[in-house]
Structure 1
Amino acid sequence: MHAIEHLTLIWAGVFVAVFLARLTRLTPVLYYLAVGCLFVNIGLLPKEESDFIRGFSDVGIVLIMFALGFEENASHFLASIKRSWGIAFFGAVAPFLAAFGSVWFFTHNFNVALISGLAMTATAVSLTMVSLKSEGLSQTEAATGIMTSAILDDIASLALVAILIPVAAGDTAPSLLELAAIVGKAILFFLLVVVIAVWVLPHQIAGLWRGLRFLDRWGIKQLLSYDSGQHAVLAVLLFAALLGLAAHVLGFHPAVGAYMAGLILKEDYFEGKGAPGQQEFQRVGRIVENVAFSWIGPVFFVSLGTKIVLDWDLLVSVIPEVAILTAAVFLAQIFSAGIAARYTGAFPWRDSVMIGFGMLGRAELCFVVLDIAYVQSNIISTEVFYILMLTAFWLNVAVPVTISWWKPYYTGEKPLGGKA
């Protein structure tokens, strides 16, 4: 079947998912995942997605993260980093240990347990942020705490992948110089973002850099307002793609770069035909949001759902292990991230519980680890692969369900520990 036909099927599934989400008052993300899983297992979509759909999916997650960053306030994000170190640390260590211990109990194989712990470490922030967006909670303190913690987790997880994969595969572990290079790339990326945000984008530069007055006439504001602002959407998407590529070169997922691109674009850079900056900023935001959340971004989640190809005999045989591992990671993640949010980040309990739920998802890095361990290096067996894939699937399902369930308590519609 041609790739365009696959895309047509996916879009049809997305439309059904949106209808069911509205009917059941759950986030569409849950149904996007279900559509992908259903379509691949009844043969409507192939087990190996085409390059076209894979590329479309990659563009989708980059757009989603850019749209989320575009809505966020940069000052809130930076302030949240100081509060989020404990969430990132304890919220990564606890699920790692829970997965390592559970899989060690099943297999008594240190390397397999090590890989399993690594796969269950990093949070799938894109899934959480879209779930929060669908509930109208994407600009809350909890959402910002989740986002900053997840980025810190990504940095640590990338380093762990570099260290632990060679150890588990029996290859030579990276040297101190190579580890320093990984950390250096992470620092370089964030320095690049700071330089762009402070000294490149602003059209009025203060202090020692005020001599760069050419930016008053040839800066981002002029680019966004060129031709009466008709190409402002193209300009911001180009900026997101460029920073995404920079993130990729320095070892991050491009979606992280896209999020940072959206984060550092300010309202006062925008000016359209006869429209003040605020109106133009909102117009561009509406277009980006529609593209990201309505017709390109959902392809990423449907594609994610297609990763679960069910072998029923094998599926039944691993149900006990999946149940134990899912429960272990579920509880470890919620309690570790929630308690850390409360006592190291001083978040209120309502926010702390929401952060615990929001850290449950497992996607990009998890599947990268599984691809390396199962497909490329043959470190884990087919049974373990199924256990980890199904665990990731149920954890992903838990994100929109728990967020939707907790929302009325979070917003105060229902009192905690009392009658409604």
Structure 2
Amino acid sequence: MHDISILAIIWASVFAASFLAHRTRLTPVLWYLFCGAVLVNIGVLPTEMPVFIEDFSELGIIIIMFALGFEEDADNFLGSIKRSWGIALFGAVAPFLVAYVTTLMLWNSHNMALLCGLAMTATAVSLTMVSLKSEGLNHTPAATGIMTSAVLDDIGSLALVAILVPIAAGEAVASPLGILLIIGKALLFFVLVTIIGGWLFPARVGFLSRIPIIGNFGLRQLLAMGRGEYTVLALLLIAVLVGLLAHQFGFHPAIGAYMAGLIIKQEYFDYHKDREIDFYKQSRAIIDNVAFSWIGPVFFVALGTELVFDKAIFIAVVPAALLLFVGLFIGQVLSATLAARYTGDFDWPASWMIGFGMLGRAELAFVVMDIAYVQLQIMSTEAFYALMLTTFLLNCSVPLTIRWWKGRFSGAGVVAG
């Protein structure tokens, strides 16, 4: 099948998913995942996506995360870190322990249990943020808490991947120097992003304005090129470049894209007033359309195709998958909720929303499963299928629980008194 034919099928399924979401009043993300799983299992979509679709879907998640960061206020994000450290810590430790103990009990392999626990550690922040946006909750303090916690969670999880995978494979042992190196890389990345946002993007002042070539050239000038006709292109280029920078530091490019959106300010779009166009609103509208209507959904449909059913294995692993799902659901929700309430001072409605929002598992989970099952062959076929099914159930739980809890959630997320 031609790659373009696959893309056409995926886009057609996006229409179907949007129709089903409208009729059921559920978030489209759930139906994107559902359509991907159905289409791959009835043979309409291939089990192995071509490189074009894989890259296209990765571009989709990069643009989605950039769009979410673009909408967020950087001051709110930074202010949320001190409230979110506990959510990130306890919200990661609990699912790791649940998955580790459960898989050790089921398959009696320490190394496999270690990697299963690692796969279930990082939160699929993109799935949660898109689900919150669908419900109009993406600007609440709870959403910012989820985003901040998930970013911190991903940083910690990526560090654990670098540390634990070689140990599980018998290729290395943990060393203080190696751990410090990983932490240092994470800190250096955020320092570089801060420099980009604080020095490269704004207009130069003082002695900086006398630097040749770039002295009088900031982001405002880049966005204003061609009387604003290249504004969206400039923004997408920035998203991809910072995403690539994140990739060089070992993070998923989507994390870099979110940070890129976060440090772009509305004041940079104050140009070409003679055209009577609000370039900030226009750019946000275009990027939102690209992210949530035609490129971004490809990522979620492709994610759904990861769950390929083998009848015999599927029946055999259902009890294990359900055990993992129930344990992870309870452990994740309770740990994140209690941490949000008692370390982040969120009120109870916002704390429960954060707990539900931390349920998703996506990019890093599949990376770890690929390493453990395909590359290192540490994970058994039964464990792989059980984790795949568990991940799918957890991802489906995110939009369902957010939708269900929305009626009880005020959206205020005020500090508890």
TM-score above 0.5 = yes
Give 1:20's aligned residue: 20
Shift of 1:216: 7.4
1:175 deviates by 3.8
- Alpha-carbon separation, structure 1, partners of 2:179 and 2:112: 23
Query: What is aligned with 1:361?
Result: 360
Aligned positions of 1:170-189 closer than 5 A: 170-189=170-189
Give me the whole-angstrom Cα distance separating, in 1, the residues matched to 2:62 and 2:79. Answer: 24
CA distance in 1, matches of 2:203, 2:334: 45
Q: How does 1:277-356 map to 2 (within 5 A)?
A: 279-356=278-355
TM-score normalised by length of structure 1: 0.95
**Measured at CA, do residues 116 and 277 of structure 1 come closer, stay the same or move farther in structure 2, by a change above 3 Å?**
farther
In structure 2, distance between residues paired with 1:354 and 1:24? 21
- How far the C-alpha of 1:411 sits from its partner, in A, is 2.8
1:376 paired with 2:372, answer no
Q: Indicate yes or no: 2:207 matched with 1:211.
A: yes
Shift of 1:213: 2.3
Structure 1 runs not aligned, ≥5 long: 414-420
| CA deviation profile, 1:158-207 (whole Å, cap 9, x unmatched) | 111112112222222254333222111101100001111112212154xx
Match of residue 391 from structure 2: 392
Structure 2 counterpart of 1:53: 53
Find the aligned partners of 1:76 and 1:212 in 2 and give their Cα distance: 28
User: Contact between 2:340 and 2:346, CA under 8 Å: does it hold in 1?
Assistant: yes
Structure 1 counterpart of 2:238 = 239
Cα offsets for 1:9-35 (capped at 9, x unmatched): 000000110011011110000000011
Q: Aligned ranges for residues 17-96 of structure 1 at < 5 Å? A: 17-96=17-96
How many Å apart are 1:277 and its aligned residue? 9.8
Cα displacement (A) at 1:276? 8.5
Question: What do residues 276-312 of structure 1 show as CA deviations (whole Å, max 9, x unaligned)?
Answer: 8992111100000000000000000000000000001
CA distance in 1, matches of 2:374, 2:175: 25
Larger displacement relative to structure 2 (165-174 or 236-245) = 165-174
CA contact (8 A) 1:267 1:277 kept: no
Displacement of 1:127 in angstroms is 0.4
Kept after mapping to 1: 8 A contact 2:360/2:398: yes
8 Å CA contact retained: 2:83, 2:345: yes
Query: Cα 1:318–1:230, aligned 2, differ >3 Å: closer, same or farther?
Result: same
Partners of 1:192 and 1:337 in 2: CA distance? 30
* Whole-angstrom distance in 2 between the partners of 1:67 and 1:105: 42
| Distance of 2:45 and 2:85 partners within structure 1 | 41
Equivalent pair of 1:270/1:277 in contact (CA under 8 Å): no
- Equivalent residue for 2:148? 148
Q: Which amino acid aligns with 1:384?
A: A
Evaluate the alpha carbon distance shift between residue 192 and residue 278 of structure 1 in structure 2; reply closer, same or farther with a 3 A threshold. Answer: farther
> Separation in 1 of the partners of 2:342 and 2:410?
21
Instruction: Map Cα deviations across residues 130-166 of structure 1 (whole Å, 9 max, x no partner).
Output: 0001111111101111111111111111111112112
- Counterpart Cα distance in 1 of 2:62 and 2:184: 24
CA deviations on 1:331-363 (whole Å, 9 max, x unpaired) are 000000000000000011111000000000000
Aligned twin of 2:409: 410
1:80-100 Cα offsets, whole Å, 9 max, x none, are 001000000000000111111
How far residue 319 of structure 1 moved from its aligned partner, in angstroms, is 1.1
- Decide whether the 8 Å contact of 2:341 with 2:347 is kept in 1: yes
2:100 is matched with: 100
Partner of 2:135: 135
CA offsets 1:27-53 (integer angstroms, 9 cap, x no match): 000000011101111111111100100
- Are the aligned partners of 2:21 and 2:28 in contact in 1 as well (CA < 8 Å)? yes
- Give the match's secondary structure for 1:8: helix
* Larger mean Cα displacement after TM superposition, 9-18 or 190-199: 190-199
Aligned-partner Cα distance in 2 for 1:105–1:169: 20
Contact 1:125–1:147, Cα closer than 8 Å, also in 2? yes
Q: How does 1:190-269 map to 2 (within 5 A)?
A: 190-203=190-203, 205=205, 210-213=206-209, 217-269=216-268
The residue type paired with residue 11 of structure 1 is W
Deviation, structure 1 residue 110: 1.3
| AA matched with 2:73 | N
SS in 2 for 1:355: helix
**Structure 2 match to 1:416:** none
CA distance in 2, matches of 1:225, 1:271: 9
Tell me by how many angstroms 1:220 deviates. 0.8
Identity of aligned residues (%): 59
Please say if residues 27 and 135 of structure 1, whose CA atoms lie closer than 8 Å, have aligned partners that are also in contact: yes
Q: Quick one: distance in 2 between partners of 1:175 and 1:104?
A: 25
Greater shift in the superposed pair: 133-142 or 270-279? 270-279
Give the SS at the match of 2:273.
coil
Aligned CA distance change for structure 1 residues 169 and 412 (closer, same or farther; 3 Å):
closer
Number of positions where the alignment pairs a residue of Structure 1 with one of Structure 2: 409
State the Cα distance separating 1:313 from its structure 2 match.
1.3
C-alpha offsets along residues 53-94 of structure 1, whole Å, 9 cap, x if unaligned? 001001000000000000000000000001000000000000
Say what the alpha-carbon RMSD is for the aligned residues. Answer: 1.6
Runs ≥4 in structure 1, deviation > 4 angstroms?
A: 275-278
What amino acid is the match of 1:211?
Answer: F
Q: 1:52 corresponds to which letter in structure 2?
A: F
| Unmatched 5+ stretches in structure 2 | 413-417
Change (3 A) 1:94 1:278: farther
Task: Identify if the C-alpha distance between structure 1 residues 275 and 37 changes in structure 2 by more than 3 Å, giving closer, same or farther.
Answer: farther
TM-score, normalized by length of structure 2? 0.95
